[in-house]
Structure 1
Amino acid sequence: MILSKLFMGLDIGLTKTFRNKSNLIKLWRWQNILSNPLFRATSLRLLLSYLLAMIVVMGLSSMGVYHFFAYSLYKQLDHQLLTLADAAAHNLLAIQADRTAVHRKMPRILDYDGDLDIPWQDLWLYGQSVEWFDAKKQLLGKAGKQFPPIPLIISFHSWEDNDIRTLTIPVYTSAKNRQILGYVRVSAFTVEVEQELNRLLIGLKFGGILGMVLIGGTGWWLTSKALQPIEQSFQKLQQFTADASHELRSPLTAIKTTVELMQSHPERHPGDIKKIAIIEGATWQMTRLVEDLLLLARSDAAAVNLSKTAIPIPIDEILFDLIDTLQPQAQVKEITLEADLNDEIWVKGDAHQLQRLFGNLLENALQYTPEGGLIKVKMVKSDNFVVISMKDTGIGIAPEHLPFIFNRFWRADKARSHRQGGSGLGLAIVQAITHTHGGEISVTSKIGVGSCFRVKLPVFE
């Protein structure tokens, strides 16, 4: 009668709290994704990704605008030079006639300074010049702005050293007779074009800075608004997990106490000894699961509060105690436990949590290392950190599974799912405790060779 009530109470209590294990798994997968420190990091990453995308878009847009205006301004300048060259080509015959008049002592069309007076074009005002050459590329005359001597190059050409843009065209005797009569070169300064482009560039820079400030503020607001529903859901899930873990403690304690009482008087229930042992095992497993859930919920909710309760701890003492405690299990499987520890290294933290951290790693190593294997615990100090490595000759982990081994309730394969009493939270707890203490954890593994877990913690000095 008592036994049936126990089964009924256990079934009803667990059914009301968690309908099925899949819901619990989904819950803690969300917890693993949206733990508080990572939540803030996710928000920051979203914002930085948004800003980076906007910077790229604005940068490409600004480059496009700049090159478009540069192309338009130079195209306009080339059109002016081409119009001027076509007009000046009609004066080439007059220039050649002027040269002939010099020899014959006749009136010249050149003024006293050697420049040609052209009434329809104020070349000085626009910083332009026209030069006429004969068929042998000898200078016949010039008008307008004075430019440094430069080689005669047919078509458009830019002289960046002198900030000059030139156009040289050949002049023919007639459209039918393609005999070259001479050449006309027109030139203009590009300083004004470059000044316009520089002003445009300055405007784009200031506009870009102002745009990034506005985009940054808008991005922060949009990110916070987008993540607000997720954050609220996460807080509810976190509170639910903590409450559920706490509520499960009471019925489990009652069941455990009753089972212990029945075990202390086996003569009253001789036929139920095996069933009581099963209940005791299930109760212990559920108790461990509840404690693990509660530990993870607390580490998610208040990881930053460790500094208030942390004390300096000699890390080698914790490791030696664990090795001594687990030595009998290692001897049963004929596994060698080696330790290379330093007794002068201290860390600041919670001794119980650190014991849980390294205890989980050692238990895993013992569980998955075959008989006659080797487990080596080594401690090395590096700058302001201490690295504790636990290397085994176990079954190993496939490379594609390594990114997921710290996920809650995740199982790599059937070889790792047969473990009795395991909750699937051991390595998740290891990672949570490591991060709570400001450390890092990494793993390397090879199938059939073994695994090596490395925990890096800040040293207390």
Structure 2
Amino acid sequence: MVTKFSSFIQTFTNLGEKDIFKSTQGRLTRMYSGLLMLFLVFFIAIVYIVLHVVILNNQERELQSLVNQEANFIESYLLKDEQNDLQGMDDQELVFAGVNQFFYYVVNSKGEIIMGNESDPRLRSDLLQLINGRFQSEREIRKETLHDEGNSNGRGMKGGFHPREAPKDIRLIITSRAIYDKGQFIGQLYVGKDITFTYQLFRSLLLILIAIGILFLGIAIYMSVVMSKRAMIPISGAFTRQREFVADASHELRTPLSVLLSSIDAVEMTIEPQQRDMVEKILSNMRQEVRRMTHLVSDLLTLARSDSNTIQLSLETFDFRPQAETAIESVRPLAVSKQIKLHLNTLGSLITVGDPQRLSQLLYILLDNAIKYTPQGGEVKLSLSIVGQQLCISVQDTGIGIRPEDYQRIFERFYRSDKSRSRQMGGHGLGLSIAKWIVDTHKGTIKVSSELGKGSTFMIHIPLVYKE
């Protein structure tokens, strides 16, 4: 039952977590609920334990008072009537009956009952077994459980008929006290108190506390949802404004960058021959920086649109092999400039379900990243295959490698494991974030394995059957 209820809470808090904010809100809700539930459990446990201890201690004090009262009464009887034993005391109009007293026995040194009585005569032999040799010290209080088989045939001890009783367990607390007359030991008084009702009270109390706990658990979940929503309001508002700014700024920057690039090309055509070498070098550097800025702005715009869910996948069934061949050819000039060998390993056609443009962008990002971090004379391999109902993509390089602690962080935006080297190579830390977003939108997985100084391998698995 607890597992099902926990599953309900998990489903309730995960409902609609389609972006990072709802996911964060869900985690906050679980955290708040967990803290409130922990407090509630501790509160219930403390209340139950305190009541359990207080009530049982009260019952033990009553029993101790009862045995002292009856022992004093017997000793007074012996002293007043100058009796040497308790013979004939049963004939007196004396009733030893405290609250819920189940039995009392006076046993001599030989283990024989001098006098006594019990609530149910059928249980005398069982009661004698409980007290026989069980008490190690004077006034020790013991807790015992006595099993009563009941009266299954409805017949009483003397042949009369009584209501049928079912078998039950009787919870007893028992104590004893020695009885002396003028310094001479007369016998040991044993008194047993029935606390079965007390344990029934404990069970009822526990059920009530659990019911109250479940009620307050629902209130705690509701309060957690409200608190998490209020906690996310300023964060969500700030991020929304930031996202809108990035999207607007990226969109506005694309036009002037395109104009700058065109202007550089136009200026290059008007250079006088005697100034060509110096001016061409300056323009080449400007063109490289403008292209880098254009690429950065394009990546920022892609991520901003992905955050706002304004990019929709154009799902098609197509052959992925031509896309891979085109991606290889597009990055070949970069590989040739670093004397890096490019390899494409695939067999036959690769019929895939997905967005052709985004999957091509994925290949370009991974190949560009592999070439960028592979030194002169290295190798980059692109392997494609279909295994079962999945498209498998592997990009392997002989580059600088990635530290194990960076395996997950390399997919974070603007993260660089080696910032100085990344800047020298022209990286800005957004490519792998976009790659992961493309894989995630296709319901796939992306993993990396690497060894420092020997290279890295990115492994992507994309299902061929797309599920919303």
Q: Same fold judged by TM-score > 0.5?
A: yes
SS in 2 for 1:163: strand
Matches of 2:200 and 2:301, distance apart in 1: 68
Query: What is the CA deviation profile of residues 114-150 of structure 1, one whole-angstrom value per residue up to 9, with x for unaligned ones?
Result: xx8633x545x62522121112333222224234433
Between stretches 390-399 and 206-215, larger displacement belongs to 390-399
- Percent of aligned positions with the same letter in both sequences? 27
Matches of 2:93 and 2:317, distance apart in 1: 95
Query: What is the CA deviation profile of residues 285-329 of structure 1, one whole-angstrom value per residue up to 9, with x for unaligned ones?
Result: 1111111111111111116x535x322344444334323444565
Unpaired runs of 5+ in structure 2?
A: 1-16, 147-168
SS in 2 for 1:173: strand
Matching of residue 143 in structure 1 with residue 93 in structure 2: no
Q: Quick check: 2:37–2:220 contact (8 Å CA) kept in 1? A: no
Matching of residue 80 in structure 1 with residue 71 in structure 2: no
Matches of 2:361 and 2:215, distance apart in 1: 52
Q: Decide whether aligned partners of structure 1 residues 383 and 37 sit closer, same or farther in structure 2, where only a CA change above 3 A counts.
A: farther
SS in 2 for 1:302: coil
Q: Quick check: 2:37–2:217 contact (8 Å CA) kept in 1? A: yes
The one-letter amino acid paired with 1:285 is: R
Between stretches 366-375 and 256-265, larger displacement belongs to 366-375
The one-letter amino acid paired with 2:130 is: P
Aligned to 1:286: 293
Matching of residue 159 in structure 1 with residue 144 in structure 2: yes
Query: What is the CA deviation profile of residues 239-298 of structure 1, one whole-angstrom value per residue up to 9, with x for unaligned ones?
Result: 100110111112112111222222234348746332222221121111111111111111
SS in 2 for 1:405: helix
Q: Decide whether aligned partners of structure 1 residues 449 and 156 sit closer, same or farther in structure 2, where only a CA change above 3 A counts.
A: farther
Q: Decide whether aligned partners of structure 1 residues 418 and 289 sit closer, same or farther in structure 2, where only a CA change above 3 A counts.
A: closer
Q: CA deviation at 1:72?
A: 1.1
Between stretches 55-64 and 409-418, larger displacement belongs to 409-418
How many correspondences in the alignment? 412
The one-letter amino acid paired with 1:425 is: L
Matches of 1:298 and 1:258, distance apart in 2: 29
Q: How does 1:314-393 map to 2 (within 5 A)?
A: 314-327=319-332, 329-330=334-335, 333=338, 335-341=340-346, 346-379=351-384, 385-393=390-398
Q: Decide whether aligned partners of structure 1 residues 450 and 278 sit closer, same or farther in structure 2, where only a CA change above 3 A counts.
A: closer
Matches of 2:36 and 2:465, distance apart in 1: 43
Aligned to 1:126: 100
Q: Decide whether aligned partners of structure 1 residues 380 and 275 sit closer, same or farther in structure 2, where only a CA change above 3 A counts.
A: closer
Aligned to 2:12: none
Q: Quick check: 1:395–1:447 contact (8 Å CA) kept in 2? A: yes
Matches of 1:194 and 1:401, distance apart in 2: 58
Aligned to 1:295: 302
Q: Quick check: 1:393–1:451 contact (8 Å CA) kept in 2? A: yes
Q: Decide whether aligned partners of structure 1 residues 301 and 347 sit closer, same or farther in structure 2, where only a CA change above 3 A counts.
A: farther
Aligned to 1:266: 271
Superposed CA RMSD? 3.2
Aligned to 1:236: 241
Matches of 2:417 and 2:221, distance apart in 1: 42
Q: CA deviation at 1:180?
A: 4.8
TM-score under structure 2 normalisation? Answer: 0.78
Aligned to 2:89: 109
The one-letter amino acid paired with 1:399 is: P
Query: What is the CA deviation profile of residues 320-339 of structure 1, one whole-angstrom value per residue up to 9, with x for unaligned ones?
Result: 43234445654565545455
Unpaired runs of 5+ in structure 1?
A: 1-34, 103-107
Matches of 2:203 and 2:195, distance apart in 1: 12
Aligned to 2:434: 429
SS in 2 for 1:90: helix
- Which of 252, 259, 264 lines up with 1:254 in the alignment? 259
Query: What is the CA deviation profile of residues 366-396 of structure 1, one whole-angstrom value per residue up to 9, with x for unaligned ones?
Result: 2222345443444566665444332333211
Matching of residue 311 in structure 1 with residue 316 in structure 2: yes
Matches of 2:242 and 2:179, distance apart in 1: 89
Q: Quick check: 1:384–1:459 contact (8 Å CA) kept in 2? A: yes
Matching of residue 190 in structure 1 with residue 195 in structure 2: yes
Q: CA deviation at 1:349?
A: 2.8
Q: Decide whether aligned partners of structure 1 residues 373 and 281 sit closer, same or farther in structure 2, where only a CA change above 3 A counts.
A: closer
Q: CA deviation at 1:190?
A: 2.4
Query: What is the CA deviation profile of residues 151-202 of structure 1, one whole-angstrom value per residue up to 9, with x for unaligned ones?
Result: 2222222224543223232315379x6x754322221222211121122112
Q: CA deviation at 1:452?
A: 2.2
Q: CA deviation at 1:399?
A: 2.9
The one-letter amino acid paired with 2:54 is: S
Matching of residue 67 in structure 1 with residue 49 in structure 2: yes
Aligned to 1:23: none
Q: CA deviation at 1:346?
A: 4.7
The one-letter amino acid paired with 1:82 is: Q
Query: What is the CA deviation profile of residues 43-102 of structure 1, one whole-angstrom value per residue up to 9, with x for unaligned ones?
Result: 10010111111111111111111111111111111111111111222355669x999686
Q: Decide whether aligned partners of structure 1 residues 347 and 207 sit closer, same or farther in structure 2, where only a CA change above 3 A counts.
A: farther
The one-letter amino acid paired with 2:58 is: Q
SS in 1 for 2:401: coil
- Which of 35, 40, 51 lines up with 1:58 in the alignment? 40
The one-letter amino acid paired with 1:151 is: L
Query: What is the CA deviation profile of residues 426-461 of structure 1, one whole-angstrom value per residue up to 9, with x for unaligned ones?
Result: 112112222222233222323223222222323227
SS in 1 for 2:100: coil
The one-letter amino acid paired with 1:40 is: K
SS in 2 for 1:395: coil
SS in 2 for 1:258: helix
Matches of 1:100 and 1:36, distance apart in 2: 88
Q: Quick check: 2:344–2:383 contact (8 Å CA) kept in 1? A: yes
TM-score under structure 1 normalisation? Answer: 0.79
